[in-house]
Amino acid sequence: MYIRVSEIPGGGLDVFASRGKASISHVLEGMDPAPLRELRLVEADLLLTVEDGDLWVEGSFEARGEGFCDRCSDPVTLRFGKAFQTILTPQSRDQVVASSVELHGEDLDVGYYDGTGVESNDILWEQVALELPLQVVCCEGCRGICPVCGKNRNMEACSCAAGDAPGPFDILKNLKGKKE
């Protein structure tokens, strides 16, 4: 949904962007969900308040993703979400004045828009992307796959010693003596 700022009366008017529950699942279409293989929004709310050309954005989302555990390769389903607040200010504001101002922690949630409108999907994409996990694990205690015998150590114990597996750089040990 594209929201035109020029059509919204100024002075603190609250605008609620709503397209209905049926459209929520399509908001993240086209987004790269890596490290997950599939990602979709389950629920999303977005409230925009316009004040002196600035857009104050408050929202929340809940997403569901599917992928594979990075340690044992078992399928994993994750649910995550958060509530967020951010301020979008027009790019046309004087950047020179803004560059001389000291930033505080609360100022880090400021973004810019072109001054004519905002794509609400982009706001949600950004917030979801910030919450994507860096590593997908089935559980914190996942022991993974044995690098020697290939057994899933969560399902069955293996008797392999920790030092039995060849390292990826073991071949470099032999190169030192073969130098011409």
Residue 116 above 90 pLDDT? no
User: Is the sign of the CA dihedral 51, 54, 58, 62 positive or negative?
Assistant: positive
Q: Closest by alpha carbon to 40, among 28, 52, 22, 55? A: 28
Q: How far apart are CA 143 and CA 50, in angstroms?
A: 50
Q: How far apart are CA 154 and CA 124, in angstroms?
A: 36
102-106, 147-151, 166-170: segment of lowest average pLDDT: 102-106
Q: How confident is the model at residue 135, as a pLDDT?
A: 93
Q: How confident is the model at residue 21, as a pLDDT?
A: 55
Query: Which of 4-13, 38-47, 136-145 is most confident?
Result: 136-145
Q: How many CB atoms lie within 10 A of CB 64?
A: 17
Of 38 and 104, the structure prediction assigns the larger pLDDT to 38
pTM over 0.75: no
